[in-house]
Amino acid sequence: MSRYYQGPASDHFDGERFFNPLRTPPRGRRDLLRWRFERRATRTKWPAWAPSPYADRPPARVGGAAVRISYVGHASFLVQTAGLNLLLDPVWSKRASPFRFIGPKRVNDPGIAFADLPPIDAVLVSHGHYDHLDIATLSRLAANHRPRVITPLGNDTIMRRRDSTIAAEAYDWGDRIMLDDAIDVTLIPTQHWSARNLSDRNMSLWASFVIGAPAGRIYFVADSGYGDGRNFHAVRERHGPLRLAILPIGAYEPRWFMRDQHMNPAESVQAFVDCGAEFALGHHYGTFQLTDEAIDAPLDALGDALRAAGIAADRFCALRPGQFLEL
């Protein structure tokens, strides 16, 4: 049985491990070793420090139908609307790693200093990878803000085993949760995988989120392969119209290894078209070097993809940490 979750088998859970309905398993150890060997020649090294010129000090609350979205960095955002403050995949740690002294290290500070956060009501954590599920940050939030933490099945166990004060609630794809009278969130399928170590692969679930708000629905995709595009078409059919899609555009090289788990900018632009959102925000670039592309490659490739698709640049933005967008 899964060490994190026990429940009935489904179209994405076999009783022990979760899986993608398209049957796209993560690459095995042999492929991982091949990538680690080949990247010595193909990896473009990032600068040790690439600070953002911006730093945000958000207001305590944003009322009514207004929406303010601040980019913290990597896949972390603060969403403020209808009087509710919501964090997405919050990571304030210096490394995206199980270790304190090795592993991918930040090249810029979070766009909001932790002390400058407004009161946090709820947190969405998409899956168990260290650049998305950061126990140290969740523990700080629990101690200082005591938010609800909404996450896919099994990730609640990971959190509570490390810190029982984290108010984690675990849900399956298709579950809809009311955060307050005005805001709801629905977990929806995404093509990815999970692991915290070498022995727990796919024992916790991964998900994207659709956030329902007075200003319109916000679609947050943390990590995802494009696959055949069905997940993006499905969110348009079942949850549209969407006001905003928050989509990953980085950590995609080499393609032979990353294709099934991370989109490149051209695929993210296609996902934007498929889901039918009015606007998009990019993420997953410029903070932690996880893969082989240069630090500025995702932004350059996003511009090329938008021009090729005939989409205005102001419809799909890529912020620097500390910048914010208002709808």
Read off the pLDDT of residues 1-59 as tens digits, 9 standing for 90 and up: 679 999 999 999 999 999 999 877 888 888 888 988 888 778 899 999 999 999 999 99
Q: Which residue in the block uniquely carries the two structure tokens 């999970």?
A: 194
Structure token digits, residue 42: 């193909």
Mean pLDDT of 78-84: 98
- Closest listed residue to residue 293, CA positions, set 327, 325, 249: 249
Question: DSSP letter at 304?
Answer: H
Phi-psi region of 149 (alpha: psi -120 to 50; beta: other; left: phi over 0): beta
Output the average pLDDT for the chain: 96
Euclidean distance between CA atoms 292 and 35, whole angstroms: 10
Q: Which fold has domain 30-326?
A: Metallo-beta-lactamase; Chain A (3.60.15)
Residue 251, phi-psi category: left (phi > 0), alpha (psi -120 to 50), beta (remainder):
left
Residue holding tokens 């091949």? 34
In this structure, of 32-36, 110-114, 228-232, 295-299, the range with the lowest mean pLDDT score is 32-36
Q: Domain coordinates of the chain in residue numbers?
A: 30-326
Q: CA–CA separation, 83 vs 183, rounded Å? A: 10
pLDDT digits 0-9 by tens, 302-327: 999 999 999 999 999 999 999 999 99
Res 119: pLDDT: 98
How far apart (Å, rounded) are the C-alpha atoms in residues 181 and 268? 32
- Would you state the structure tokens that stand for residue 18, as one six-digit string? 């979760």
**Average pLDDT over every residue of 87-97:** 98
Give the mean model confidence (pLDDT) for residues 117-142.
Answer: 98
Closest CA to 197 of 133, 254, 286: 133
pLDDT in tens, 245-254: 999 999 999 9
pLDDT (tens digit per residue) in 238-276? 999 999 999 999 999 999 999 999 999 999 999 999 999
Q: Please report which helix (H) or strand (E) contains residue 245, including its range.
A: strand 242-248
pTM: 0.97
